[in-house]
Structure 1
Amino acid sequence: MATQERPLSPHLQVYKPQITMVMSILHRATGIVLALGSLLFAAWLVAVAGGADAFELARAALASVPGRIVLFGLSACLVYHLLNGIRHLAWDAGHGFEIPKFYASGYAVAVLTVLLTGGLWYVGWTMGGAA
C-alpha cells in the first residue's frame, strides 16, 4: 500500500491573508530591499569621492524618472521598516498584544507609511528637489 506524501504544515496559499501576515512579510521584504538599497548608497558615495564627472553621472541617473521611482520605493521601504520596527519594539516591551491593538497598530503603520513618505517627498519637492 503506497502512502501519499503530504506537507507537514499547510502551505501559505491555504491561509486567508490577514494584516498581521501581510505586515510580517512586508517587514522582511523591506529589510531585503533596504539591504540592496545600501549598495546603491555605497555606489553613490563612491561617485561622490570619484570626482565631478562621476558625481554628475550618478546625479543624472538618480534624477531620472526610473531613478526617482527607485528612490521613492527605497524611502517608502525605509519609512515602513522604521515604523514597523517601532511597533515590534513596543511588543518587545510587552505592549499591544491584544487583538484589537494588534490590528490597529498594523493599520496605523500602513497609513503613517503613506503619509510620511508622501510628506517627505512633498517637502523635498517644494524645497528645490524638483529642479
Structure 2
Amino acid sequence: MAETRQAERPLSPHLQIYRFTITMAMSIIHRITGAGLYVGTLLLAAWLLSVAMGPDAYASFQSVAGSWIGQLILFGFTWALIHHLFSGIRYLMWDNIRAFDNRTADIISWIAAVAAFAAAIIVWIVAFKLRGVL
C-alpha cells in the first residue's frame, strides 16, 4: 500500500486565516449588548421594586445609582440599548438584501457604532439638562 501524505493545515478555519473586520466586531458586540440588556432589565426591576417598597428603599437605590459607578453602569446600559437597536436596524437591512457588499456593510457598521455612542451621550446630556445638573 502506498502511503499518502496530507498537507499540514488547520482542520477548520482559524483566526490566522480571517482578517478581523468591523462587521465581525459589530456582530460580537451585538451579542454582548443583548446579554447586557438582560442585566440592565434586572436593574430596572430593582428600581421599580425600590419605588414600590417605599421612600427608604428608593433612597438606598438612588444612593447607589447616583454614585459614579452607578452612573457608569447606567450609561453602559443606555449605550447597550441604543447600540443593540442600531445594530438590529443594520441586520434588518441585511434581511431585506440591502447593503450586502463589503464596502457598504463596513460603512453601515461604522455608522451604527458611532451613532450609538453619540446617541447615548445625547440622551445623557438631555437627561442632565432636564434634571438641572448642566
TM-score of the pair, normalised by structure 1: 0.87
Name the residue aligned to 1:38: 41
Please state which structure has a larger fraction of its residues in helix.
1
Matched, 1:125 2:128: yes
Aligned letter for 2:82?
V
Question: What are structure 2's unaligned runs of at least 5 residues?
Answer: 1-8
Q: 1:118 to 1:13 in 2, by over 3 A?
A: farther
1:50-86 superposed Cα distances (whole Å, 9 cap, x missing partner):
0111011111111111100000011111110000001
Q: 1:43 to 1:85 in 2, by over 3 A?
A: same
Q: 2:75 aligns with which of 69, 72, 77?
A: 72
Question: CA–CA distance in 2 between the matches of 1:113 and 1:30?
Answer: 12
Name the residue aligned to 2:13: 10
Name the residue aligned to 1:111: 114
Percent identical: 41
Q: 1:7 to 1:40 in 2, by over 3 A?
A: farther
Count of matched residue pairs: 126
Name the residue aligned to 1:98: 101
Superposition pairs of residues 47-86 of structure 1, within 5 angstroms: 47-86=50-89
Question: CA–CA distance in 2 between the matches of 1:21 and 1:53?
Answer: 46
Aligned letter for 2:110?
Y
TM-score of the pair, normalised by structure 2: 0.86
Of structures 1 and 2, the larger Rg is shown by 2
Aligned letter for 2:93?
A
Instruction: Quote the offset at 1:129 in angstroms.
Output: 6.0
